Amino acid sequence: MTSMVLKRVLQKGLLQPCFEWRVAGHSARIFPVCYRCHESAEGTSYFDLYHEWVEKFRKANIPEEYESAGFITAHLLGYKTFSVIPSRDLRRSVTDRELDAFRRMGECRLARMPIQYVIGDWDFGGVNLKMAPPVFIPRPETEVLVDHVKNEISKRVKAQSPIKMLEIGCGTGAITLSLLNAMQSVSLQGVAIDASEHAVGLTKKNAHHLNLSYSQNLQILHHKIGVDDDDVLMDLGPFDVVISNPPYIPTADMDNLPEEIARYEDHGALHGGRNGLDVVKAILSTCTKLLSKDGVLWMEVDSSHPRLINALFDDWKIDSHRDMYGVARFCRFLRSKDVDAN
C-alpha cells in the first residue's frame, strides 16, 4: 500500500493505525513496530514485556532504553539481538518463570547495572565471553587492538615458531582468548595475568567455556606488574608479543565516570594514577626484561597519552594508531636498541 493510499484510508477511518515509529535494537535502526500484530492471544507476550520495560527504563532515565530491553528480551529467548527475533517468538506468552526472570534482569538494569552483567555474557572478537561484576567489561575499541596484534603475529609466523604472547591485565580474557581462537593454525603460546583474583577466575572460566584451557598453550596467573616478583614471568618468556589494556584513566576523570561504570566495574582496572600513566610506566619497565629480541609491546591508552608517552619514553620507538572513531588509542612499542640493531 503506497503512503498516499494509506493516508486516504486512515483519513476515512477505514483502518485504525496500529503502529508507531520506534528506534530499537543495538543497531539503532528506525522501523515501524506494530503493537496489534505482536499482541499475544493469551496473557503477557514477550513484546508486551519489551514495550513495558522500554517505558520503565525511559522514565528512570536509563541510557539506551530500547537496547537494554531488547538485549534482555533476546537473551531470554535465546537470540543475540532483538532485531533477529522472529515475530512468532515475540507473540508467545511468557511463563511465570520467564516473567520473573525478565523482571529480575530489568530491576538490575534499573539499578544501573551494565547490560553485559545483567545478561551475563557478551560477544567480543568472535568469541562469547561470560561477564560478571566487578571484572572490567571489554569495549568495542579494543577489538581494533586485537586486529593490530593479529597482523603483528601473522608477520612473525614464518620467522618464529612457536610465538610466545603475554597479556598484562587480562580481565575477562577477551584479548588472549579471542587471539587464540582466531589463530588456531598458528603455534601460539599465551600467558595471561591480572592483579585481580576475580579476573583470573573469570578468564579461566571463559577459557574452559571456549575449550581453550589446554595447559600447553595457555597459562593464566594471578600477578601484579610492578609489585610481584617478575622471575615467574621471566621463566615463561621471553615474549615475542606483549599486549595490555591497562588502567589508564587519570585521577581527575575518575569522578566523571558514567554511573554504570562507577558503581559496578573494578576501579583498580580503570584508575591509572594522576596522569593515567602509573601502570603504563610499570609495564614498560617490566617489558625491558620480558621481551625477546625484536619483541613488540602493544598497549591501549588514553587519548591524551600518545603525545605524553613519546615525550617521556625516549628509549622506545613508539608508533600510535587510531581506533574506529579516529581517536589515537593504541601504541606500538619497540625497544630503541632493537631498532638500532636492525
pLDDT in tens, 140-197: 999 999 999 999 999 888 665 789 999 999 999 999 999 999 998 888 999 999 999 9
- Give the Cα separation of 255 and 89 in Å (integer): 43
CB burial readout 186-212, b (16+ within 10 A) else e: bebbbbbbbbbebbbebbbbbbebbeb
The pLDDT value given to residue 13: 42
pTM of the model: 0.85
Q: What is the pLDDT of residues 218-235, one digit of tens each?
A: 999 999 998 898 899 999
Which residues are CB-contacts of 66 (< 8 A; sequence separation ≥ 6)?
22, 23, 24, 25, 28, 54, 82
- For the record, the C-alpha cell of 5 comes out as 493510499
Residues of the chain scoring pLDDT < 50: 1-41
pLDDT confidence of residue 161: 73
The predicted pLDDT at position 336 comes to 77
Q: Which domains does the chain have, with CATH numbers?
A: 17-111 (no CATH), 137-341 (3.40.50.150)
Half-sphere exposure of 74 (CA within 13 A, CB side): 23
The pLDDT value recorded for residue 301 is 95
